Amino acid sequence: MSQTLAMYVDGRLVGHLYDQRPLAFEYTSECLSGMLSTQLTRVIALQAGKISTPAVHAYFENLLPEGDQRRALEDQHHVTSIFGLLSVAGGDTAGAVVLEPIQSAVDRPTYRKHTWEQLAQMIAGNGVQAASAKASVSGAQFKILLSIDQKDGAPLLPVGSTASTHILKPDIKRVGQKIWASAINETIMMRAARKCDLRVASVDYQPTVHSCLVQRYDRIEAGGSVQRLNQFDLCQLLETPSDVKYEADGGPSFTQCYKKIKASSSNPLKDCDSVLKWLFFNLYIGNNDTHAKNLSMLVSEGEFRLAPFYDLMCTSVYSGFSNSFAFKVGTTFKAGDMVSADLLQLAASLNVSDRYLFKISKDMAQQIIPAIDESINELQDSFSPTEKLMAQRLTREVSKLCKKRSQKFLS
């Protein structure tokens, strides 16, 4: 295994990653001289020589998947270090980064065409890892990186470091946890969020594979080629490894995320307003798995803006998920215990007016149920009996949560 990885951004060599303890990164002379600029300096300060700061560790560690997804990579390749995992799965990561062994040629874009039925068999047999061996996407949920044939809608599996354009998220299956129909849950909630004027990644549902199909917002297809866009999640920007992504573990608070977005964004007023709407949307739909890695900043058309939202689902319908919210609001992590005094405390910590925060809360509570109903109506022709039952559960659960929580927030 190579001891050095070349790091390409936008197809240009920006530096090298070294297999050291701690992990080390070094910018190229072109970057240091100013001949080549890179957005990477937003997270790793530009300086000469090998850099082994916490920012380096946090940036590269957060490119990898977590939980079962990471363990599957470790078992498949018999590597456990960040460097080792990136050496086998750093060819197609979140954002614009491509990591390749030094002096290796970057793969020409190549895809293997499949049918959705073939993909369903691969998912059932857990045989998808080998299909895109150089791909890595963050998160603990099992995912498949792919593209879509524009002629017939068939799935295309990228080979090597070929860029994917979509993320396929099958139903979550975890031993000991009663989680079911998660893909239709996420599809409904993502589409409902868009109807509530939240900017979200585009999603569709693939009934053959019982999966939520997410179009990657960090990819642009133009002229027959795929362009990667720079993005950084809030854990990367706040120099926080993924194993402490939750505030309860010492990870970023909502206030820290909000202030980082405000300080970084090219349009802070709009992006701060958006992230507040996102907060209340999650509180009202019962999505307790909101954390700093579910927020990202995206470089697009010369601007640094809050990325479209992703990973939105109602976790409250499952007993296998925590009933604590990922962020503390006021004095508590328990969403069911949050009251107007907690919102007042949040407003003070964010330096926004009480009236403004309460208006966002009230408006969101009124929009969510009609948005969910409309999303269900759009998708219902593809529902299996189990998915139809989930849709009914979601309507009941979110209606209950909206009523109870809005009363507590606004009383």
Res 126: pLDDT: 58
Classify residue 92 by its DSSP letter: B
Nearest to 260 by CA among 249, 272, 251: 272
H or E, element range at 17: strand 12-18
CA dihedral (328, 331, 335, 337) in degrees, to 10, reads 170
Res 173: pLDDT: 83
Give the integer Cα–Cα distance in Å for 341 and 274.
Answer: 22
Res 133: pLDDT: 45
Does pTM top 0.85 for this prediction?
A: yes
Classify residue 106 by its DSSP letter: P
Under DSSP, is residue 13 helix (H, G, I), strand (E, B) or coil? strand
- Residue with the two structure tokens 């499949």: 114
- Residue with the two structure tokens 């992230």: 275
| Cis bond before residue 22 (omega within 30° of 0) | yes
Domains and CATH numbers, the chain: 4-101 (no CATH), 111-225 (no CATH), 231-410 (1.10.1070)
pLDDT by 10s per residue, the chain, length 411: 579 999 999 889 999 999 999 999 999 999 999 999 999 999 999 999 999 999 999 999 999 998 888 888 899 889 999 999 999 989 899 999 999 987 666 567 889 999 999 999 988 875 444 444 465 566 556 889 999 998 999 999 999 889 999 999 999 887 667 889 999 999 999 999 999 999 999 999 999 999 999 999 999 988 778 999 999 999 999 999 999 999 999 999 999 999 999 999 999 999 999 999 999 999 999 999 999 999 999 998 889 999 999 999 999 999 878 889 999 999 999 999 999 999 999 999 999 999 999 999 999 999 999 999 999 999 999 999 999 999 999 999 999 999 999 999 988
Res 128: pLDDT: 46
H or E, element range at 391: helix 385-410
Contacts of residue 53, Cβ cutoff 8 Å, sequence gap at least 6: 44, 45, 239
In angstroms, what is the C-alpha Rg of the chain?
21
Give the integer Cα–Cα distance in Å for 83 and 28.
Answer: 19
Q: What are phi and psi for residue 99, nearest 5 degrees?
A: -115, 125
Res 137: pLDDT: 62
Contacts of residue 288, Cβ cutoff 8 Å, sequence gap at least 6: 315, 316, 321, 322, 323, 324, 325, 326, 335
Give the integer Cα–Cα distance in Å for 371 and 76.
Answer: 42
Tell me the residue type at 166: H
Res 107: pLDDT: 62
HSE, CB side, 13 Å, CA atoms: give it for residue 177.
15
Cβ proximity of 257 and 349 under 8 Å: no
Give me 322's structure tokens: 């925590």
Give the integer Cα–Cα distance in Å for 271 and 112.
Answer: 38
Res 130: pLDDT: 43
Give the integer Cα–Cα distance in Å for 261 and 24.
Answer: 27
DSSP for 48-86 reads: SS-B--HHHHHHHHTTSB-HHHHHHHHHHHT--SHHHHH
